[in-house]
């Protein structure tokens, strides 16, 4: 044992371990829990977080802390507790969890950028006199003076542009005492030049009123609770959030609102800014400086409301009274790299430490949240009607199997949809078309031998992109030229089958040449605000037909959209994943919700080869409860979430055999953990409620030249799941040969 003054430090590595470091006397007053420190680790110097102080250590010789970065703790004790929970729940390192709490720009710090501002000297001689003294010798300097006489003050780049001068002319003028040069710090305020017209509460419907009253009461009680706000599309959930937040602020507390990244539009932000004065925004499309400013604003207590995407759940607010998760079912709240957390679940934990209320809002809640209301863990409040009692749109399902027989081969657009589009467009109304597959053609094969073109590095068929004239892998983004002949039999007959958005665009433009069409997918929406520009153009009516992937399914209402066409409802339903039905149902309901927002009404046409599938039939009748009941039955039979709990262990490496061996080794360890445990795990194993499925090759067996095997660990509670996973916790996850990834409560199993 060693005695002294030591700090417990965690580092950004996938190990849930605290390291002890000696606190040199000069740092004794500086080291505090929640501050970042620089410490030696191996041969490197790394940044870690001080999470505890101790006088005793079982390490013989401790290394010294090199430097204390923060003057005040950057992480509160509550946030450290949340991180601790994440590390234990998701099997990641505590340091890894903490790394995601601070935006990278806050971690690295931002240097203040200065710029030269040039002004005329006010005292002394006039500009005329200045020009007179140098007129003959220095025409460029004269131009500079003339420009300054006009604008007063100017930055150097602007001046250089106007008067075509170089810095040396400016320096000479300064030496003559004609002008001054001052360094000014560049700021980049987020809401510069924007004015937000203040709005007050909208008069709410009876249903909204019930929801608002319930949430307000919960907030006043200052007790941790979770409310599921189940409201159909267009039922005014945001107004409920706004009035609840208003109560929170009145009580002197603060609120966090999480929305999916894609819904974080200027309109969304405006709704909050127009109601509340001190709103901060955390968003990936902010500049580094803006992000840093917003974060420090929140940290120093200058924000009452934080609106942001997934990572805003870690916003450094004190006194949180309410956390809202809008569209709580969205998979964007689950992070797909370590730490693989779900912000929805983290929000419930954070709220518990803050004695705060969580409101989960959705038209199509996740089965997990719905189930929690069924067993009384969460409270549920429902908005059954749209604001203004507008009806939900009529949904018609088209059986595409019938469409084939009429003509030659597969039809991408049914006659009925085409006719409906014509009718709608002729009335100067707008059409929204969803096709959840980008590119021109998703399937490239040989006419003669049937060879299917796949990515050389992944087990995925390549997609043809016509504009780029290349075939692209949607997993590793590798691009290759289009083969002119079959790579297998050298026959020249290459066939492109299936429709992606790019091909559909071509087809619709040909059939509706007199109308404006805009395609919206990740290929056409590359720029910072291209998404926003496209939606504005659609809102203005400059575009008649909006065709896109699921990015068009969410967000705002367009009163003039009276027809929504789902070109293929089958892109998700056939995926080998237990959430495929749920995802299909949710996507159909979301996109259907884009229409019928005005007195003109609206209609939805769904094309499918699976017209009897329950996810489609229930979506067609807007029957969430019916769908949820049926889906829960299936989940119960298979003992999948929300009944059973899952973790996925993925192993990957360059050599298939190495990966397979490691996977078997891990499977054995996991099984032993069950067999050697006390009663409850063994009893679960006998009832098929606990177990290890696999190892098996992952559905996509090769990605980026890495072979992938996976295992699914199943248990009847998270507690038992964690007991099993403990047995592999200390495995080396980053070995050169085979890497291991643990995903607790995975979203997808592909
Ligand atoms: Zn061939
Ligand atoms: Zn690939």
For residue 289, the model assigns a pLDDT of: 86
- Say whether pLDDT at 668 is over 90: yes
Q: Are residues 721 and 697 in the same domain?
A: yes
Specify the higher pLDDT residue, 350 or 163.
350
Q: Are residues 253 and 273 in the same domain?
A: yes
Integer Cα distance of 333 and 342 in angstroms: 5
The values of phi and psi at residue 259, to 5°, are -130, 155
> Prior bond to 456 cis, omega within 30?
no
For residue 615, the model assigns a pLDDT of: 94
- Say whether pLDDT at 511 is over 70: yes
Q: pLDDT category, 407, cuts 50, 70, 90?
A: low
Q: What are the residue ranges of helices labelled H in 53-205?
A: 77-90, 94-99, 104-108, 127-134, 139-151, 156-163, 167-175
Integer Cα distance of 539 and 200 in angstroms: 24
- Say whether pLDDT at 195 is over 80: no
Task: Tell me if 240 is assigned to some domain.
Answer: yes
The last residue of a domain, from among 590, 607, 637: 637
Q: pLDDT category, 550, cuts 50, 70, 90?
A: confident
201 CB-near residues (< 8 Å, 6+ apart): 239, 242, 243, 246
For residue 105, the model assigns a pLDDT of: 84
At 160-186, the pLDDT tens digits run 888 888 888 888 888 888 888 887 776
What tokens were used for 155?
A: 């930055």
Spacing, Cα 485 to ligand 1 middle (Å): 8
DSSP helix/strand/coil, 149: helix
Q: pLDDT category, 259, cuts 50, 70, 90?
A: very high
Q: Are residues 39 and 20 in the same domain?
A: yes
424 is in an annotated binding site: no
- Say whether pLDDT at 124 is over 80: no
307 CB-near residues (< 8 Å, 6+ apart): 257, 259, 264, 268, 269, 272, 279, 280, 281, 282
CB 439 within 8 A of CB 465: yes
CA neighbor of 91 nearest in space, from 750, 635, 718? 718
Average pLDDT over residues 699-708: 87
- Say whether pLDDT at 149 is over 90: no
User: Which numbered ligand comes closest to the C-alpha of 472?
Assistant: 2
- Say whether pLDDT at 555 is over 80: no
398 CB-near residues (< 8 Å, 6+ apart): 414, 416, 417, 605, 606, 607, 608, 611
Specify the higher pLDDT residue, 53 or 497.
53
Q: Are residues 255 and 376 in the same domain?
A: yes
Spacing, Cα 263 to ligand 2 middle (Å): 29
Strand (E) or helix (H) holding 431:
strand 430-434
449 is in an annotated binding site: yes
CA–CA–CA angle 492, 495, 498 (5° rounding): 170
590 CB-near residues (< 8 Å, 6+ apart): 233, 363, 364, 553, 554
Q: Based on the number of CB atoms within 10 Å of its own CB, is 128 exposed (0-12), middle (13-18) or buried (19 or more)?
A: exposed
Half-sphere exposure of 472 (CA within 13 A, CB side): 16
Q: pLDDT category, 104, cuts 50, 70, 90?
A: confident
The last residue of a domain, from among 364, 387, 410: 387
User: Which numbered ligand comes closest to the C-alpha of 474?
Assistant: 2
The values of phi and psi at residue 632, to 5°, are -65, -35
DSSP helix/strand/coil, 457: coil
What tokens were used for 132?
A: 């007179």
Average pLDDT over residues 228-247: 93
Spacing, Cα 390 to ligand 2 middle (Å): 46
Task: Tell me if 29 is assigned to some domain.
Answer: yes
Tokens 């580092």 correspond to 11
Task: Tell me if 281 is assigned to some domain.
Answer: yes
User: Which numbered ligand comes closest to the C-alpha of 448?
Assistant: 1
Integer Cα distance of 665 and 294 in angstroms: 47
Q: Are residues 150 and 50 in the same domain?
A: no
Task: Tell me if 544 is assigned to some domain.
Answer: yes
- Say whether pLDDT at 651 is over 90: yes
- Say whether pLDDT at 527 is over 80: no
For residue 556, the model assigns a pLDDT of: 65
What tokens were used for 538?
A: 């659609």
For residue 282, the model assigns a pLDDT of: 92
For residue 434, the model assigns a pLDDT of: 93
Average pLDDT over residues 200-225: 91
Integer Cα distance of 626 and 643 in angstroms: 18
Spacing, Cα 654 to ligand 1 middle (Å): 28
For residue 447, the model assigns a pLDDT of: 86
Beta strand 645-653 with 603-608: parallel, antiparallel or unpaired?
unpaired
What residues have their beta carbon closer than 5 A to ion ligand 2?
A: 455, 457-458, 473, 475-476, 478
Q: Which domain holds residue 180?
A: 114-185
- Say whether pLDDT at 201 is over 90: no
Q: Are residues 34 and 104 in the same domain?
A: yes
Spacing, Cα 468 to ligand 2 middle (Å): 17
Q: Are residues 263 and 358 in the same domain?
A: yes
CB 395 within 8 A of CB 592: yes
The CATH number of the domain holding residue 85 is 3.40.1440.60
Q: pLDDT category, 608, cuts 50, 70, 90?
A: very high
What tokens were used for 175?
A: 């030496």
Task: Tell me if 593 is assigned to some domain.
Answer: yes
Q: pLDDT category, 198, cuts 50, 70, 90?
A: confident
Which residues pair with residue 155 across a beta bridge?
A: 117
> Taking the mean position of all CA atoms in its chain, how far away is CA 318?
24
Spacing, Cα 504 to ligand 2 middle (Å): 24
Spacing, Cα 495 to ligand 1 middle (Å): 10
Spacing, Cα 660 to ligand 2 middle (Å): 21
For residue 533, the model assigns a pLDDT of: 85
User: Which numbered ligand comes closest to the C-alpha of 457?
Assistant: 2
Q: How many domains does the chain have?
A: 6
Average pLDDT over residues 715-738: 90
476 is in an annotated binding site: yes
User: Which numbered ligand comes closest to the C-alpha of 493?
Assistant: 1
Spacing, Cα 704 to ligand 2 middle (Å): 6
Spacing, Cα 388 to ligand 1 middle (Å): 60
For residue 718, the model assigns a pLDDT of: 92
User: Which numbered ligand comes closest to the C-alpha of 463?
Assistant: 2
What tokens were used for 33?
A: 């829990």
Integer Cα distance of 627 and 584 in angstroms: 11
Torsion angle (degrees, nearest 10) of CA 730, 647, 330, 380: -110
At 264-284, the pLDDT tens digits run 888 888 999 999 999 999 988
Integer Cα distance of 744 and 717 in angstroms: 12
Q: pLDDT category, 575, cuts 50, 70, 90?
A: confident
Spacing, Cα 700 to ligand 2 middle (Å): 10
Task: Tell me if 352 is assigned to some domain.
Answer: yes
455 is in an annotated binding site: yes
For residue 112, the model assigns a pLDDT of: 65
- Say whether pLDDT at 408 is over 90: no
Range of lowest pLDDT (33-37, 207-211, 365-369, 597-601) = 597-601
CB burial readout 172-197, b (16+ within 10 A) else e: bbeeeebbeeeeeeeeeebeeeeebe
Q: Are residues 657 and 529 in the same domain?
A: no
At 446-493, the pLDDT tens digits run 888 888 888 888 777 888 998 888 888 887 788 889 888 888 898 888
Specify the higher pLDDT residue, 685 or 417.
417
- Say whether pLDDT at 428 is over 90: yes
User: Which numbered ligand comes closest to the C-alpha of 702?
Assistant: 2
For residue 645, the model assigns a pLDDT of: 93
Specify the higher pLDDT residue, 712 or 407.
712
CB 393 within 8 A of CB 602: yes
Spacing, Cα 479 to ligand 2 middle (Å): 9
Q: Are residues 631 and 694 in the same domain?
A: no
Highest mean pLDDT among 486-500, 566-580, 612-626: 612-626
Spacing, Cα 456 to ligand 2 middle (Å): 7
Q: What are the residue ranges of helices labelled H in 553-655?
A: 570-573, 580-592, 614-620, 624-638
What tokens were used for 689?
A: 């409620």
Cα–Cα distance list, 657 to 56, 82, 535 (Å): 46, 39, 50
Range of lowest pLDDT (270-279, 626-635, 640-649, 677-686) = 677-686
486 is in an annotated binding site: yes
Task: Tell me if 698 is assigned to some domain.
Answer: yes
- Say whether pLDDT at 406 is over 60: no
CA–CA–CA angle 432, 436, 438 (5° rounding): 105
Q: Are residues 310 and 221 in the same domain?
A: yes
DSSP helix/strand/coil, 689: coil
For residue 409, the model assigns a pLDDT of: 62
- Say whether pLDDT at 151 is over 80: no
Spacing, Cα 458 to ligand 2 middle (Å): 4
- Say whether pLDDT at 717 is over 70: yes
Q: What is the ipTM of this complex?
A: 0.94
The CATH number of the domain holding residue 284 is 3.40.50.300
Average pLDDT over residues 373-387: 93
Integer Cα distance of 172 and 431 in angstroms: 63
Rg of the chain on CA atoms, in Å: 30
Q: Based on the number of CB atoms within 10 Å of its own CB, is 576 exposed (0-12), middle (13-18) or buried (19 or more)?
A: exposed
Task: Tell me if 201 is assigned to some domain.
Answer: no
CB 592 within 8 A of CB 622: yes
714 CB-near residues (< 8 Å, 6+ apart): 639, 644, 645, 646, 689, 690, 691, 692, 693, 721
What tokens were used for 268?
A: 């969304």
Question: How does the average pLDDT of the chain come out, rounded?
Answer: 89
Spacing, Cα 401 to ligand 1 middle (Å): 28
The last residue of a domain, from among 621, 637, 653: 637
Which residues pair with residue 362 across a beta bridge?
A: 230
Q: Are residues 9 and 156 in the same domain?
A: no
Spacing, Cα 472 to ligand 2 middle (Å): 8
Tokens 């679960």 correspond to 684
Q: Are residues 9 and 142 in the same domain?
A: no
Q: pLDDT category, 607, cuts 50, 70, 90?
A: very high
For residue 199, the model assigns a pLDDT of: 78
Q: Based on the number of CB atoms within 10 Å of its own CB, is 667 exposed (0-12), middle (13-18) or buried (19 or more)?
A: buried
């Amino acid at each position: 044992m060693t005695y002294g003054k030591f700090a417990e430090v965690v580092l950004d590595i996938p190990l849930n371990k605290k390291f002890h470091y000696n606190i040199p006397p000069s740092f004794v007053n500086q080291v505090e829990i929640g501050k970042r420190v620089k410490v030696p680790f191996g041969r490197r110097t790394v940044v870690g977080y001080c999470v505890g102080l101790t006088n005793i250590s079982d390490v013989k010789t401790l290394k010294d802390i090199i430097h204390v970065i923060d003057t005040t703790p950057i992480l509160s004790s509550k946030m450290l507790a949340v991180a601790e929970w994440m590390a234990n729940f998701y099997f990641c390192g505590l340091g890894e969890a903490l790394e995601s709490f601070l935006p990278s720009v806050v971690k690295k710090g931002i240097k203040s950028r200065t710029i030269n501002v040039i002004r005329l000297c006010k005292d002394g001689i006039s500009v005329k006199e200045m020009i007179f003294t140098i007129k003959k010798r220095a025409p460029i300097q004269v131009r500079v003076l003339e420009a300054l006489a006009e604008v007063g003050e100017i930055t150097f780049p602007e001046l250089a542009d106007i008067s075509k001068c170089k810095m040396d002319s400016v320096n000479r003028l300064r030496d003559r005492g004609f002008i001054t040069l001052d360094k000014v710090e560049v700021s980049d305020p987020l809401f510069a030049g924007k004015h937000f017209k203040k709005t007050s509460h909208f008069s709410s419907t009876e249903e909204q009123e019930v929801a608002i009253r319930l949430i307000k009461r919960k907030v006043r009680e200052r007790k941790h609770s979770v409310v599921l706000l189940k409201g159909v599309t267009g039922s005014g959930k945001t107004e409920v959030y706004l009035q609840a937040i208003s109560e929170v602020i009145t009580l002197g507390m603060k609120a966090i609102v999480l929305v999916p990244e894609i819904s974080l539009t200027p309109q969304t932000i405006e709704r909050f800014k127009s109601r509340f004065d001190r709103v901060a925004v955390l968003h990936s499309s902010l500049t580094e400086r803006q992000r840093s400013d917003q974060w420090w604003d929140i940290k120093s207590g200058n924000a009452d409301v934080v609106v942001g995407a997934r990572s805003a759940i870690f916003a450094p607010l004190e006194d949180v009274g309410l956390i809202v998760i809008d569209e709580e079912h969205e998979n964007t709240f689950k992070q797909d790299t370590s730490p693989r957390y779900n912000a929805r679940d983290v929000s419930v934990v954070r709220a518990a430490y803050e004695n705060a209320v969580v409101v989960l809002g959705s038209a199509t809640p996740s089965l997990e949240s719905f189930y929690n209301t069924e067993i009384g863990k969460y409270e549920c409040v429902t908005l059954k009607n749209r604001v203004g009692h507008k009806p939900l749109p009529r949904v018609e399902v088209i059986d595409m199997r019938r469409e084939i027989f009429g003509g030659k081969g597969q039809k991408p657009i049914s006659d009925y949809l085409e006719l409906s589009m014509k009718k709608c467009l002729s009335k100067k109304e707008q059409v929204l078309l969803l096709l959840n597959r980008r590119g021109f053609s998703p399937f490239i094969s040989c006419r003669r031998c049937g060879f299917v073109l796949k990515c050389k590095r992944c087990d995925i068929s390549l997609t043809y992109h016509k504009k780029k004239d290349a075939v692209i892998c949607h997993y590793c983004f590798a691009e290759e030229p289009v083969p002119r002949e079959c790579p297998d039999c050298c026959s020249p007959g290459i066939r492109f089958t299936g429709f992606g958005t790019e091909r559909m665009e071509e087809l619709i433009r040909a059939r509706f040449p007199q109308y404006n069409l805009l395609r919206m997918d990740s290929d056409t929406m590359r720029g910072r605000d291209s998404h926003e520009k496209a939606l504005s153009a659609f809102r203005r009516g400059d575009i008649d037909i909006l065709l896109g992937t699921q990015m068009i399914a969410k967000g705002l209402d367009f009163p003039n959209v009276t027809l929504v066409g789902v070109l293929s409802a089958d892109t998700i339903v056939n995926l080998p994943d237990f959430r495929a039905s749920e995802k299909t149902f949710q996507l159909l309901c979301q996109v259907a919700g884009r229409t019928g927002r005005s007195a003109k009404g609206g209609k939805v046409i769904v094309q499918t080869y699976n017209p009897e599938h329950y996810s489609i039939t229930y979506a067609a009748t807007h029957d969430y409860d019916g769908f949820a009941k049926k889906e829960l039955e299936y989940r119960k039979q298979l003992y999948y979430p929300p009944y059973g709990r899952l973790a996925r262990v993925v192993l990957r490496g360059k050599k298939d055999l190495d990966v397979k061996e490691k996977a078997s080794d891990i499977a054995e360890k996991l099984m032993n953990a069950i067999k050697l445990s006390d009663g409850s795990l063994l009893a679960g194993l006998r009832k098929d409620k606990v177990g290890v499925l696999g190892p098996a090759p992952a559905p996509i067996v090769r990605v980026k030249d890495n072979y992938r095997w996976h295992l699914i660990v199943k248990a009847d509670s998270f507690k038992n799941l964690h007991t099993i996973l403990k047995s592999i916790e200390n495995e080396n996850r980053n070995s050169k040969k085979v890497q291991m990834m643990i995903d607790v409560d995975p979203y997808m199993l592909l």
